[in-house]
Chain A
């Protein structure tokens, strides 16, 4: 069926054939043009789109294959959601070592984008915990890939944006947790230097660290530093509250006064809860998942996220410049999130997470002005020797991508000739 498919940011909107997959032992369907696996559509831009080609919808590949509750190893099909895994394993005392900001991503998507979490400084990215996976290639071969077998293809598939073929299943290493609860602490700070000091001080003592800053403020931005550790606790699980944005408003609800108000309220609410408190993992790791379709608040034109990473030594200046440009532009960002990555070597050729400070900003899409602002941010990132995250991107220039990911040329040896994406064509066609 030919259908417009939205990625999470709602931009770009392109048409392609969509073919649902429902069994892992089936051959790849014929499809029109090139193929690309598409999981739950939580990538923000066009890494999960394939204009004029075919999307292989993988949510029908949602079976578990084997779970060893003694060793903490889980094998499942690629369309299983991380949240579905948690529902299964948490009662057995296990946890996923790496969780992104939403539980509604598939295992295949987490691998293809080599996602990271608030504990990157401790455990690295998702790909570090993939023991093996099966790759179905368009020539019909099924290759079991791991760090030991077909290791080059494995490194190209982790963070490989779905270009190396269809991941049918993966085997994941799990992490022991004492309970579903965390001891969470919130520390206010002002300015990037204070953030860096807190981050350095907490790296050894806390598993999970992340910060929020109010980028509507001028001067040294006020922020909140969140850190947490798992701890043993027995309490009834909190009720799963779900609100929903049930329709797309005709205009973005995210505007300048709204962003200011939100940021002020956010700061006020969290300033009340400074003392360490017990927090269930679900609201802690996935606060936005409580609001189904929250992306709709940005209206029909959608939004763009800009997530970059800057090497730590030049981060204060570069991030200050980015925040200044955003503040000068006046829009501000609904949520601005900071995190210091650890210095493990990345598991994938195109992995995004690397040593440095990452900053994520959301912008309602106001046409060319927004795109121009983001281009100027890319200049700052490039000059500082950083990188922009493909999973969040819908617009970076090809030349910038190739600079951020110098290994991109080695991908060619591993890309399946029938696989492609809107993103990949956009960033490599002018090379």
Chain B
């Protein structure tokens, strides 16, 4: 039995991952904005086998409450073995190009809030000297593209932060896992046309659990995205700038 904290627990990927944890009788603490939805998910996870499920409602941009919610999670579970940070918004690129306020909000949610939570968690995990911190970044963070470089650059910040955090916490026996999903068919991406590159939240969830169990460093899910992104990163800027991606 593991004690698992999930931030952004109402996201489709987080919910699918939580089901896998529940099926192996883990204890879960769920954090998200929408309390009514959290209750529905908690009921489902209890039926699926979670030994206990507790919830707290939090807007991740409410930085003042981070410590209180983490304390609440630790108390409820009697300690935390695994954290999954999964909250996020898919930025409206056009809106962010037109408005600095929109840009700042996207960075606040997708980067700063994540880094703030990780700062608190890192200190706690460093002291307890065990555990796994898995964070959902994105393949979009591997290289900025015209179609979504605001979202991509926020995720790039998360990826770079995690890389450094992994080095720091490795000495304390704490695993930091960077999860990079490709295209995932979720309510967040409802308006996109889907093709063979898209995968289901359940498939991504299986990849997340596998990576967390193994203590992988960087997990592309599904794995074929590692190859795709290697190619994308290798394209020289002189050519890349002409592409429409």
Contacts and interface: CB of A to CB of B under 8 A. Distances in A.
Interface of A: 1, 20, 22-25, 60, 63-67, 76, 88
6 contacts: A1-B193, A20-B187, A20-B190, A63-B41, A67-B47, A76-B47
Contacts of A1: 190-191, 193
Contacts of B48: 64, 88
**List of 4 A-B pairs having minimum Cβ-Cβ separation, nearest first:** A64-B47, A63-B44, A67-B47, A64-B44
Nearest to A22: B187
B40 interface: yes
B190 A25 contact: no
Given A23-B37, A25-B36, A63 B190 contact: no
Nearest to A62: B44
A63 B193 CA distance: 26
A22 B185 CA distance: 12
Contact of A23 (B40, B190, B191, B193): B40
Contact of B40 (A25, A60, A88): A25
Nearest to B42: A63
Contacts of B187: 20, 22, 60
Contacts of B190: 1, 20
Nearest to A19: B190
Nearest to B12: A22
B43 interface: yes
A67 B43 CA distance: 10
B43 A66 contact: yes
A242 to B, nearest CB: 15
Given A1-B191, A20-B187, A22-B187, A65 B43 contact: yes
Contacts of A22: 12, 187
A136 B37 CA distance: 18
A64 B44 CA distance: 5
Contacts of B193: 1
A4 to B, nearest CB: 13
A2 B188 CA distance: 18
A66 B43 CA distance: 7
Nearest to A87: B23
Given A1-B191, A22-B187, A64 B43 contact: yes
A121 to B, nearest CB: 32
A424 B41 CA distance: 35
Interface string B1-34: 0000000000010000000000000000000000
Contacts of A20: 187, 190
A194 B138 CA distance: 64
Contacts of B40: 23-25, 63, 65
Contacts of A67: 47
Nearest to B193: A1
B43 A63 contact: yes
Interface string B43-81: 110011000000000000000000000000000000000
B54 to A, nearest CB: 17
A398 B141 CA distance: 57
A65 B37 contact: no
A76 B48 CA distance: 12
Contacts of B191: 1
Nearest to A68: B47
A22 B12 CA distance: 9
A60 B47 CA distance: 17
A88 B50 CA distance: 13
B172 to A, nearest CB: 37
Nearest to A23: B37
Contact of A88 (B37, B41, B43, B47): B47
Contacts of B41: 63
A385 B176 CA distance: 69
Nearest to A63: B44
A64 B48 CA distance: 8
A361 B23 CA distance: 40
B36 A65 contact: no
Interface in B187-214: 187, 190-191, 193
Nearest to A21: B187
Contacts of A25: 36, 40
A408 to B, nearest CB: 36
Contacts of A63: 40-41, 43-44
A25 to B, nearest CB: 6
A255 to B, nearest CB: 30
Nearest to A74: B47
Nearest to B36: A25
Given A20-B187, A60-B187, A66 B47 contact: yes
A265 to B, nearest CB: 34
A247 to B, nearest CB: 12
A25 B36 CA distance: 9
A24 to B, nearest CB: 7
